[in-house]
Structure 1
């Protein structure tokens, strides 16, 4: 097998979703520009070019408001599944393993293997940081995305205010506006529904060969198994 084919095989999941991300982002740009220009024309304004639209606060806030909700979902799921379990779900660990688990189970400190990451064998702050690094990074991306949403949403909101000959608001005032919380909560509720549904439906339904599903013949009560 050639090196290129091996790279494609070994990284197929990440490459596939990375490609889908770019395709859908480009599609969103074109669809958003068309919708924006329709509104501009109906309001007696001038249409804008694609470049003008993708560099506008209108496009930016539509993008980052989805990013922050997705990373909130992952952040909460990574941390909460340390302690919370769902009997029979492949998305949950075994009922008896609720909590941070022992050093031996986690292969850290003196229990680290030869092929373990270098920081897994450390018992100082580096080991503690690495053992929580996934959740920390996901939480940081969520926080920065939510901040970006608030700033771009504020700019888009003030643009509409000025277009309607109304006074603009400060960033802090915008954080209390219904526009900000409507953009935020409409994304949060959909993410919470999706995660909860995945955890519960996986108890009773199967997808053969998927690591997100239990083996087809596994009992409904089997927890933490994947096929």
Structure 2
């Protein structure tokens, strides 16, 4: 068990953080949703019903959407863009290990590398592809949840349901998206710039403490 945690401590810890935060969001969202329903003179719903509601789907995936977009863009843009002095950037000059073509004869290379062809071509970009795919899926689920939640409120008021096109043409959905996107872009900007001047001993996201401010990369 100790060996497993030593080898997987970072993913296990953040996985637990995610599950705890998800549980708290689920329960507090459930209470908030039922509070709104009671104020509108409607009956409370069960946790199971709430889990399929637009309120829960929208609030969950509008956040996931921004996270995956931020990570996808960061992975993609760090291929060609640089920031002098940042630990998050590749060196300003010269080829790095990640730029080299994969060695198909390497003993412990992943199977797509050994396979070659189109499988290798996809695998060489698989991280970016996966992150953009997760962003798109989260975006669509956010859109679905937002439409469902909006139509639930309209139904309560006795108004006609809104179409997908109408929702996309209104400010509400885009406000939900961009209020999260801007915070993610700000956080990436902050770590890129702050890592030029500030340090954290022992962290892979920091340069060595004695590195000069102009030193780029780890």
- TM-score with structure 2 setting the length: 0.93
What are structure 2's unaligned runs of at least 5 residues? Answer: none
Distance 1:162 1:219, change over 3 A: same
The aligned counterpart of 1:196 is 189
Answer yes or no: is 1:7 the counterpart of 2:28: no
SS of structure 2 residue aligned to 1:96? coil
1:143 Cα offset (Å): 0.7
Q: Aligned match of 1:24 in 12, 21, 27? A: 21
Say whether the 8 Å CA contact 2:195–2:206 is kept in structure 1: yes
> What per-residue deviation string (whole Å, max 9, x for no partner) do you get for residues 30-76 of structure 1?
11112112222222222222222122121011001101110000100
Distance 1:22 1:87 in 2: 37
Distance 1:68 1:122, change over 3 A: same
1:133 Cα offset (Å): 0.6
SS of structure 1 residue aligned to 2:202? coil
Distance 1:151 1:104 in 2: 38
Answer yes or no: is 1:106 the counterpart of 2:100: yes
The aligned counterpart of 1:62 is 59
Answer yes or no: is 1:145 the counterpart of 2:142: no
1:107 Cα offset (Å): 4.7
Distance 1:103 1:18, change over 3 A: closer
The total of aligned residue pairs comes to 218
1:113 Cα offset (Å): 2.6
Distance 1:102 1:17 in 2: 29
- TM-score with structure 1 setting the length: 0.89
What are structure 1's unaligned runs of at least 5 residues? Answer: none
Distance 1:86 1:63, change over 3 A: same
1:105 Cα offset (Å): 4.9
CA RMSD, 1 decimal: 1.9
Answer yes or no: is 1:90 the counterpart of 2:84: no
Larger relative CO (CA 8 A, sep 6+): 1 or 2? 2
1:137 Cα offset (Å): 0.6
Distance 1:73 1:134 in 2: 13
